[in-house]
């Protein structure tokens, strides 16, 4: 549960977040978070960023957290050390200037070698935990765009059970940053992410995954000094083992 530091200077650090680590507290759970690790190692960042105001009026600080990953998603993240660098990075995310690439295993065979999913995302009508890019979505529908490239495919030699064990391994490029966007978009096109207990709840866990098969592989971003950086989080062991089964 300890993040790996990929890069560090006086303004920020790039880290590889392990799967299973929550990014910041929600005011209810007491489990360790990435924010706890940041505060323990960089106490000067306590007031850097945008705190969350809770219903009772208390503030939950998110030290240097510029963007987030879901608990079960592993991969590269940017942590700001100063308010100036935080504001600089935040602006890039808001203006969609940050280029991100994820790797994902999804159910089924995607026939096209590359494609784009353009479906607005709203709240799920049936489950408060979920978002939806389907017709029954409720509330404000927000623009969401996800591009992808097929890296490889694995087709079962035979079909047993109700769900054919066919899979596609992808590079995914989200052009917007909606909550659960990649998971929601691939669910909407009937290719849910493998081992996603929320959006692929009727599918068994496969390919050796005990968590959602999603990894934030690279991020390209401009630093406050004007220099462009590309950071890469190496594939975790569960991804390597799943890929080995494709050969």
Asked if 194 contacts 167 with a C-beta cutoff of 8 angstroms, the reply is yes
Q: How far is it, in rounded angstroms, from Cα 130 to Cα 196?
A: 12
In the set 10, 11, 50, 70, the catalytic residue is: 70
Nearest to 186 by CA among 137, 116, 93: 116
- In the block, which residue shows the tokens 């690790």? 37
Q: How far is it, in rounded angstroms, from Cα 203 to Cα 140?
A: 29
Q: How far is it, in rounded angstroms, from Cα 76 to Cα 13?
A: 10
Q: How far is it, in rounded angstroms, from Cα 145 to Cα 59?
A: 32
Nearest to 207 by CA among 239, 237, 242: 242
Q: How far is it, in rounded angstroms, from Cα 12 to Cα 52?
A: 21
The yes-or-no answer on residue 36 being catalytic is no
Q: Parallel, antiparallel, or unpaired for β 214-222 and 99-107?
A: antiparallel
Asked if 156 contacts 164 with a C-beta cutoff of 8 angstroms, the reply is yes
3-class SS of residue 90: helix
- Separation of first and last alpha carbons in the chain: 30
Report, as residue numbers or ranges, the catalytic residues: 70
């Amino acid at each position: 549960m300890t993040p790996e530091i990929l890069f560090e200077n006086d303004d920020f650090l790039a880290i590889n977040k392990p799967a299973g680590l929550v990014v910041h507290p929600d005011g209810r759970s007491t489990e360790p978070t990435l924010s706890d690790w940041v505060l323990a190692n960089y106490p000067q960042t306590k007031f850097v960023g945008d705190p969350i105001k809770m219903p009772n009026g208390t503030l939950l600080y998110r030290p240097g957290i510029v963007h987030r990953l879901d608990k079960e998603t592993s991969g590269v993240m940017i942590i700001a050390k100063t308010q100036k660098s935080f504001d600089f990075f935040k602006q890039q995310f808001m203006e969609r200037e940050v280029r991100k690439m994820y790797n994902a295993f999804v159910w089924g065979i995607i026939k096209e070698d590359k494609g784009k999913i353009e479906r607005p995302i709203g709240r799920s009508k049936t489950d408060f935990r979920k978002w939806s890019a389907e017709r029954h979505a409720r509330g404000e529908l927000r623009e969401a765009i996800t591009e992808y490239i097929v890296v490889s495919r694995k087709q079962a030699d035979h079909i047993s059970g109700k769900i054919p064990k066919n899979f596609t391994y992808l590079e995914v490029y989200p052009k917007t940053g909606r909550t659960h966007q990649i998971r929601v978009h691939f669910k909407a096109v009937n290719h849910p992410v493998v081992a996603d207990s929320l959006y692929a709840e009727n599918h068994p866990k496969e390919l050796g995954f005990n968590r959602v098969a999603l990894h934030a592989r690279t991020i390209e971003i401009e630093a406050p000094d004007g220099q462009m950086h590309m950071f890469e989080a190496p594939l975790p062991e569960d991804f390597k083992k799943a890929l080995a089964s494709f050969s």
